[in-house]
Structure formats: C-alpha cells, structure tokens
Amino acid sequence: MKKLEEKISQAISLEELEKIRIEVFGKKGILASKFAMLKDVPPSEKRAFAQGLNNKKSHLQRVYDEVYNRLKSEEIEKLLKSEAIDVSLYSNLETKGALHPVIETMDRIIDYFIALNFSVEDGPKIEDDFHNFEALNLPKNHPARDMQDTFFCRDGGVLRTHTSPVQIRTMLAQKPPIRMIAPGAVFRKDYDLTHTPMFHQVEGLVVQKKGEVNFANLKSILSDFLHYMFGDVEVRFRPSFFPFTEPSAEVDISCIFCKGNGCRVCSHTGWLEVLGCGIVDPNVFDAVNYKDVSGYAFGLGVERFAMLLHKIPDLRMLFEGDIRLLEQFR
Ligand code: PHE
C-alpha cells in the first residue's frame, strides 16, 4: 500500500496519473483484485478485512485527489502563460482600420447635438405610410409625395425616404418637451453623381410649450452647428417648402472650395445647400395629438457633409468599398 501511495504521489503529468488511476482503481485494477480476495477470507475475519481495505481505498483516493488537483492547476497555469497576450506590444500599424467617412461624419454631428442635450432616437427602416407620409402632412395623392422617389414593399410598407418618421414615433411615445435627433439610413430611387439609393440623414426636432421656440432659435442653433462643422463660413437661409414645416427654409453655406467666388462644386453660385428646416406645421402636432406646443425641425444628408468635408467628388465612391479611398481615412 505504501508503494501505491508513492506511485500516485510521484506522477508528473495528468496522463501518467490517469494510467495509474486505471491500474489502481480500475475495474480490473489492484484494489479490485484485493476486494476479490474477500471471498476466501474466513467469515469471522471478513468484516475486519473489508473495513481495512475500504480505509486504504479512501486514503489512496485522497492522495489521488490531491495529486490530481495539483497537476490540473499546474496545467491551467501553463496554458494561461502560453496563451497570454502581451498588450504592451504594438500591433502592425499597416493593418490598422478606420471609421468609414460617413460614420465618422455622423458621429461628429451627433456629438454636437448630444452636447446640447439632445437625445438620440431611432426608428425602423421599413416604415408604414402613416409615419413616413400621412402624419407628416403628406396625405395620399398629395403631389409633394413625388419629392421623394419611394421604394415600396409588397405588403404596403415603404423603405423610409427620410428620418422624419422618427419625429412622429418619438412624439407618439413621449410627452413634450422633445429635444431629439435621429441619425440613420434612408432610401430613395436615385443614382447619380450626388445620389445613391441608400444614404444617411440626421433629423432634428425640438418641441416646447407654445411660444417658447421660434425661427430665431432655429436659425441660431443651425448657424452655430454649421460653423462647428465647416469653420469660418457664411450661412444663409432661403425660403423653401416641406409639407411638415411652415415656414420652411433651406440652408446654404458659402462654398468652402472657392470661398464664394464660384466654382464647379457650387455650380458657380458661391453657395452650397446643406440643410432643410422649418417650424413644425400644426397639422403634424395634430397627427400626434400634441396641444399648445411649438417646435422646429431640421434634416441633413450625412454623405453630403462627408463629401464636402473630405473633398470627395462622387458620392457613389463612398459605397464602392475601394480600399484606396478608405485607406486615406486611417
Ligand atoms: N425630411 C426632409 C428631407 O428628407 C428634410 C427636413 C427635415 C426638412 C425636417 C425640414 C424639417 O428632405
């Protein structure tokens, strides 16, 4: 028995220990053969014999468990050492990734409005007629629906043509005041130098008690925002039309390429159109059952901002995944 105990104690690996285990504790092992001898022991001694054997067995089992636990933790220790990652080591800079310019631009826009206490809201990309059109004062058969070349789904849904439906969803889910932006992908049937069928917008909506917000507030926040994005530019508001705002405006900045002198990018006008905005139309508040409130809203195309900020000549380049373009943003 002392010998067996020594044998177990001296195992130097789990494999060796396992062999010993089978040899000692196995069905045809040493202990089993000792127990088999029980039948030849005279009846008066059977009890003492069996008891002695059982004691020995549990002692060996304890020794075995001890050795097993020690070898097991040694093995884990070794594994942890061999798999450890040296986090102080520099990775290969050649393979460093980068944010896509559209995402990077969107993040910059979001940061600005978060700092002004706007919440960031989200909505589904497959919308229904109510949220994408109807509630935004775009009744069925209204000619203004043609402003947006819509992708329709077979079940009557639409791919949202703008982020404005998130205005509706947010107002239906929350009580005023509202101070939100909604960034995300939108879809229109369009494909040329300045249009892709999927692009991104950031929507903004502020709703407060009636009389608490006006066009001057809208003008001030958007001018400040555009200076934050484009630096020292001139900003001008031009009367325009959107069904969900009244009055509505489009916002231009002086061309950042020619400083307003006229070039190809600004079609020799000296101005670049960058935003749509306006005072929320009362019909929109009716659709969401908001009473005694006033508000302003705005929407912008993220790709347009990214193109201007990074001097990218063709919008489609942003989605071709050409590594030579993307590598420039590392
Ligand atoms: N939803 C408009 C568009 O996609 C942009 C906009 C949003 C205009 C909010 C005014 C107010 O063209």
**Residue 187: pLDDT band by 50, 70, 90 thresholds?**
very high
- Residue 185 structural domain: 101-329
Q: Looking at residue 94, what is its pLDDT?
A: 67
Residue 90 counted as domain residue? no
Q: Is 165 in the pocket of ligand 1 (CB under 6 A)?
A: no
Please work out whether the CB of residue 162 comes within 6 Å of at least one atom of ligand 1.
Answer: yes
d(CA 278, CA 294): 11
Is 94 inside any structural domain? no
- Check residue 93 and give its pLDDT: 65
**What pLDDT does residue 2 have?**
79
Same domain, 300 and 206: yes
Q: Is the CB of 299 under 6 A from ligand 1?
A: yes
Task: State whether 111 and 52 are in the same domain.
Answer: no
Please work out whether the CB of residue 278 comes within 6 Å of at least one atom of ligand 1.
Answer: yes
Query: Do 42 and 189 fall within a single domain?
Result: no
Ligand 1 atom closest to the CA of 204, numbered from 1: 9
The domain boundary, picked from 84, 116, 149, lies at: 84
Instruction: Report the first-to-last Cα separation within the chain, whole angstroms.
Output: 70
How many Cβ atoms are within 10 Å of 99's Cβ, its own excluded? Answer: 13
pLDDT digits (tens, 9 = 90+) for 193-228: 778 999 999 999 999 999 999 999 999 999 999 999
Shared-domain flag, residues 64 and 120: no
Asked if residue 229 and residue 185 are part of one domain, the reply reads yes
Is 78 part of any domain? Answer: yes
Residue 204, strand partner residues: 181, 298
Q: Would residue 218 count as lying in a domain? A: yes
Q: Give the residue with greater pLDDT, 83 vs 180.
A: 180
Whether residue 313 is contained in a domain is answered as: yes
93 in a structural domain: no
Please say if the pLDDT value at position 58 is more than 90: yes
Per-residue model confidence (pLDDT) at position 134 = 96
Do both 73 and 109 map to the same domain?
no
Residues 209 and 309 in one domain: yes
**For residues 198 and 187, is the Cβ–Cβ distance under 8 A?**
yes
- CB of 235 within 8 A of CB of 222? yes
Least confident of 136-150, 155-169, 192-206: 136-150
pLDDT of amino acid 209: 97
pLDDT for residue 164 is more than 80:
yes
Residue where a domain terminates, one of 54, 84, 114:
84
Examine the domain organization and report whether 193 and 274 are in the same domain.
yes
- Report the number of distinct structural domains present in the chain: 2
Q: Quick one: CA dihedral 227, 233, 237, 241, positive or negative? A: negative
Residue 144 has pLDDT above 80, yes or no: no
Query: Are residues 192 and 121 part of one domain?
Result: yes
In 3-state terms, what secondary structure has residue 323? helix
The mean pLDDT of 51-69, rounded to a whole number, is: 94
pTM strictly above 0.85: no
| 7-23 residue pLDDT tens | 999 999 999 999 999 99
What does pLDDT average to over the chain?
Answer: 92
| Same domain (yes/no): 195, 315 | yes
Average pLDDT value for residue range 67-87: 91
Instruction: Report the CATH number at residue 137.
Output: 3.30.930.10
What is the rounded CA–CA span in Å between residue 241 and residue 248?
5
Indicate the range of 148-157, 217-226, 237-246 predicted with least confidence: 148-157
Closest Cα to atom 6 of ligand 1: 299
- Choosing from 23, 52, 84, the residue where a domain stops is 84
Question: In this structure, are 64 and 136 located in the same domain?
Answer: no
Residue 95 maps to a domain: no
Rg (C-alpha) for the chain, rounded Å, is 37
Kindly give the pairing relationship between strand 235-242 and strand 245-254.
Answer: antiparallel
Q: Is 245 in the pocket of ligand 1 (CB under 6 A)?
A: yes
Q: What pLDDT does 51 receive?
A: 93
3-state secondary structure at position 288:
coil
> Is residue 286 in a domain?
yes
Is 152 found in the same domain as 20? no
* CA 210, 216, 220, 221 torsion-angle sign: positive
For the segment 110-138, the average pLDDT, to the nearest whole number, is: 97
